[in-house]
Amino acid sequence: MIDFHGEPLTRLRFHAVALLGAIGLLLGGCSPDESTSQPADAKSTAGTSTTPSTPVTTVSRSPADAAFLSEANAALDNTMSSEYLLGRRKLICDRLTSDHTATGWQAVFDAEHSQANEPVVTIAFLQAAVKSGCPKLAATMPKAMEPAPIGMTKSEAAYVQAADTGGGLTSDEILAGGRETCATLTNYAGEQLVRYLIEENFPDEDAIRFLCPMYRSALAQSKLGFGDGNYQVGNRGSNLLTIKPGTYRSPPGTRNCYWERSTPEGVTIDNDFVTNAPAGVLVKIRPGDGAFTSSECGSWLRVK
């Protein structure tokens, strides 16, 4: 037995530490100078295996595509995938290549705007798409476009686009004006309709073109006639409106009508004052005439 009686306290502590160190070497192979606690990072990875990271593939974009994607994401309400945005750009350019008139632009805008579950296509997005995808068409973009109101047909949307003069009217107000024009035309038929269009100086041709196309034929006929006034025959460089040679007739029941044909120098060739013409007044304007004048005769329709 080891007798510790009479040993100083410091020597007892030395023997205890030495004994513990020996036990540690036998059990764990650790030196008494090593810490038995693990670092924080070692604890966090204990019991887990490390897997080599997979390299991330970076898609190479042209500067134009990269700029477009940046502008497109800024223009849209939600960030869409790059492939989706590039696909939409191609579709827009394909459509505009087929028709880049104002009507074609509006159709593209409305088609993109009305797509279900898609963000609203803003003017900024269209500008970005065309600038990078089909830059030659950028100059054809109208100065102003707006979505067609809900329930508006394609023809009505085209009319609003064509009739908008920038006067501050809403689409509904513009459309109401065109519908009123078409409603007025229902009060006339045949020759009366053609003469009305002449006397009203071809009112709202866009309404006839888009909203009531059944009157297109009457509109075309009205462009061959003219109303009272002073006209040059053929293009002679004067400030007068031009009419073509031909045979013209005034309305049935014409009264107190004066007409005159004259030479380019202003000399009267023929004239007449008609007090009553139940079938209308018939006048033949020849290629050599310089001017034609009429008063209180109404509209003149070309008959030959």
Domain ranges of the chain: 63-140, 163-222, 229-302
* Residue tagged 């009686």 (tokens): 5
Instruction: Name the range with the highest mean pLDDT among 20-29, 120-129, 167-176, 224-233.
Output: 224-233
Supply the mean pLDDT for the chain: 76
How far apart, in whole angstroms, are the C-alpha atoms of residue 43 and residue 177? 79
How far apart, in whole angstroms, are the C-alpha atoms of residue 271 and residue 273? 7
- Which pLDDT value is given to residue 122? 66
| pTM for the whole structure | 0.48
- Which pLDDT value is given to residue 92? 87
- Which pLDDT value is given to residue 12? 42
CB 146 within 8 A of CB 171: yes
- Which pLDDT value is given to residue 29? 46
Confidence of residue 139 (pLDDT cuts 50, 70, 90): confident
Using a 10 angstrom Cβ sphere, with 0-12 exposed, 13-18 middle and 19 or more buried, the burial of residue 34 is exposed
Range in 70-79, 87-96, 260-269 the model is least confident about? 70-79
- Which pLDDT value is given to residue 296? 93
Q: What does the pLDDT look like over 205-233, one tens digit per residue?
A: 889 988 888 888 899 999 889 999 999 99
Confidence of residue 111 (pLDDT cuts 50, 70, 90): low
Q: What does the pLDDT look like over 5-34, one tens digit per residue?
A: 444 444 444 444 444 454 454 445 444 444
Share of residues in the chain with pLDDT > 90 (%): 21
Which pairs with CB-CB distance under 8 Å and at least 24 residues apart come from 80-86?
80/119
- Which pLDDT value is given to residue 267? 92
Confidence of residue 283 (pLDDT cuts 50, 70, 90): very high
- Which pLDDT value is given to residue 80? 74
Confidence of residue 55 (pLDDT cuts 50, 70, 90): low
- Which pLDDT value is given to residue 228? 92
CA dist list (Å): 220 to 160, 215, 224, 232, 263: 22, 9, 7, 21, 29
- Which pLDDT value is given to residue 297? 93
Residue 99 reports pLDDT greater than 90: no
Residue 50 reports pLDDT greater than 60: no
Confidence of residue 289 (pLDDT cuts 50, 70, 90): very high
Average pLDDT for 106-111: 72
Residue 77 reports pLDDT greater than 70: no
Average pLDDT for 76-89: 77
Contacting residues for 250 by C-beta, under 8 A, at least 6 apart: 257, 277, 280, 281, 283, 294, 297, 298, 299, 300
